[in-house]
């Protein structure tokens, strides 16, 4: 069989983003961790890590991490049947990639009871859909929540629901830029806030208004920072309706063009061979998420 | 002089995270952008981009981006003196790396008036301090806000203030894990929430309580998701006092061990040759940030 001591060293260096912390987590010296990685590379005849800061898995290393993740999930099932096989800590770590807006809104409420019941520690990774699915393909994460439907090889995807997004801005911003009332044709002439280069929601909204061409925008890759930027009157932007319930009710934010929302689908991608634990999380999400996404 | 058409193509590909969007932003065909990059590489005799998704600057490419950023800031000063030199859009883009918690709390309120006055579009990058300072050194960002004091070569650093962090958890979590009241020695025995591998705040807090050894933790790299995880009772964690004023007041979160806070310094790093615009932003931050960080 494979020497899992070597694979565990590789996984620890990637998960803890460094040799020193990996060594602390494994209760080994740093040189012992280095030796295990070198031995693994000697056996494979190829590098498994790029020694950057933080260290990154090569293609071969990613294939090994994929294997480690799957073995860990299967071990989890084994330990349910044979509790004496459980290691001391007793908590499983599950790595999931998800979009920032789900994490900023409904995610914690959906999974907290399940985490407590199953004694799972989550290792969450905020990624846009392309990167999230790529990390799933390479075995760095066990599941991925995103807007894309197409599953990667060996995985399934499930539609959990739709997240409505609204175009909002602060009252002062609306007053300054739309003293005569909000006109669709003017929305593209004032600065927006955009989450990142892959966030096309503002572009889609402007297109939906029938306006063509480029517009000015700030880039702000943080869900909460995004809402703060809108409140401070830096620009307008598309936010999940769930995230600004209070702000809209208190009047700290106003909806531009009420009735014009964008629906973003949420797909849950998970490995078919992910064991009972991942299947249980999938069942829990299918059960609770529709209620959390529905309008209050 | 340098052919800035080529450098602008390089900057656009990196800033828009792709050739197709860079082409759209520059109003060029994608093959024209490719040709400019190839011409630049032929002149230099070395690659400036790794053709990954998204494309990444090589060391040579980063040095060129650093130069482009500085030239743009100097052009901004020129346009203030000679407005006829301003390009059509009239807005300057300023790229800043900052910590997630500042962006989730006081950042937008500090810069919104300045952005409007100076007609600046912000391109914010959420990075922990080591990555932020490395991106500053490589010229990818014009300034960096982080907890580290030591400036990179060619830059200055300024202490803007201290951000107090509190250890908090939900009432249900406290009830479940500390039915007899919160004991310092027990804090390390229950799951925490940690922002990422570089977040040592929870570890420092546990050490400050005189407890040694490892503890279990979830990883959640999102400021707002972090607070949602704590509210849902997934674990305890350290959050900026500024971010949970409402939650503490309404009782949705409780402070573990009141009186035990951690102070995190905030340093503003900026290029010495960053021109009037960056100097103006620095003055604005020095003026307004102390008031925003002070307890309400």
pLDDT in tens, A209-223: 888 777 889 999 999
pLDDT of residue B89: 47
Number of residues that make up chain A? 296
Q: What is the H or E stretch that residue B280 is in?
A: helix B275-293
Whether A2 has a pLDDT exceeding 80, the answer reads: no
Partner residue opposite B232 with nearest CB, options A53, A109, A229? A109
Partner residue opposite B221 with nearest CB, options A124, A196, A234? A124
pLDDT in tens, A120-174: 989 899 987 778 888 888 777 889 999 999 999 889 999 999 999 999 999 999 9
* Ordered DSSP codes for B21-53: HHHHHHT--HHHHHHHHHHHHHHHTS-SEE-SS
Q: Are A86 and A118 in contact (CB under 8 A)?
A: no
Whether A17 has a pLDDT exceeding 70, the answer reads: yes
Whether B241 has a pLDDT exceeding 80, the answer reads: yes
Best A14, A53, A108, A252 member to test B by mutation, with max B CBs in 10 Å, is A108
Q: B222, A130: Cβ pair inside 8 Å?
A: no
Highest mean predicted confidence (pLDDT) among A54-68, B39-53, B74-88, B100-114: B100-114
Partner B contacted by A233 (CB < 8 A) = yes
In A, which residues are within 8 Å of B250 by CB distance? none
Structural domains of chain B, with CATH: 163-264 (3.40.190.10)
Partner residue opposite B108 with nearest CB, options A197, A216, A225? A225
Q: Does B130 or B16 have the greater pLDDT score?
A: B16
Whether B266 has a pLDDT exceeding 90, the answer reads: yes
Partner A contacted by B43 (CB < 8 A) = no
pLDDT of residue B142: 86
Partner B contacted by A108 (CB < 8 A) = yes
Which residues are registered as beta bridge partners of B125?
Answer: B97
What is the ipTM for the molecules in this complex? Answer: 0.74
In B, which residues are within 8 Å of A124 by CB distance? 218-222, 225
Round the average pLDDT of chain A to a whole number and report it. Answer: 86
Whether B88 has a pLDDT exceeding 50, the answer reads: no
Whether A73 has a pLDDT exceeding 90, the answer reads: no
pLDDT, average across residues A56-69: 82
Integer angstrom CA distances of residue B111 from A36, B54, B249: 49, 29, 27
pLDDT of residue B78: 66
Partner B contacted by A112 (CB < 8 A) = yes
Whether B274 has a pLDDT exceeding 90, the answer reads: no
pLDDT of residue B64: 81
Q: How distant is the Cα of A93 from the closest Cα of chain B, in angstroms?
A: 8
pLDDT of residue A88: 45
């Amino acid at each position: 069989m494979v020497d899992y001591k070597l694979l565990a060293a590789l996984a620890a260096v990637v998960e803890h983003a460094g040799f020193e912390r990996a060594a602390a987590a494994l209760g080994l010296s740093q040189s012992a961790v280095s030796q295990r990685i070198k031995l693994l590379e000697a056996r494979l005849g190829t590098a498994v890590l790029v020694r950057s800061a933080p260290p990154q898995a090569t293609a071969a290393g990613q294939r090994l991490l994929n294997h480690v993740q799957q073995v860990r999930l299967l071990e989890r099932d084994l330990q349910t049947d044979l509790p004496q096989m459980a290691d001391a800590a007793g908590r499983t770590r599950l790595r999931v990639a998800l979009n920032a807006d789900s994490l900023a809104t409904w995610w914690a409420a959906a999974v907290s009871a399940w985490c407590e019941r199953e004694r799972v520690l989550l290792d969450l990774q905020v990624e846009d859909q392309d990167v999230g699915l790529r990390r799933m393909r390479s075995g760095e994460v066990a599941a991925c929540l995103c807007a894309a439907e197409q599953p990667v090889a060996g995985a399934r995807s499930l539609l959990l629901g739709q997240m409505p997004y609204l175009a909002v801005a602060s009252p002062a911003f609306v007053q300054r830029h739309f003293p005569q009332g909000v006109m669709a044709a003017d929305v593209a002439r004032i600065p927006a806030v955009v989450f990142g280069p892959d966030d096309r929601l503002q572009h889609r909204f402007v297109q939906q208004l029938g306006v063509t061409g480029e517009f000015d925008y700030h880039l702000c890759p943080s869900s909460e920072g995004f809402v703060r930027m809108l409140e401070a009157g830096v620009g307008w932007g598309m936010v999940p309706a769930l995230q600004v319930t209070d702000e809209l009710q208190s009047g700290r934010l106003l909806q531009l063009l009420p009735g014009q929302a964008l629906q973003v689908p949420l797909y849950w991608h998970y490995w078919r061979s992910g064991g009972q634990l991942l299947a249980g999380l999938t069942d829990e999400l299918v059960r609770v998420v529709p209620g959390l996404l529905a309008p209050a």
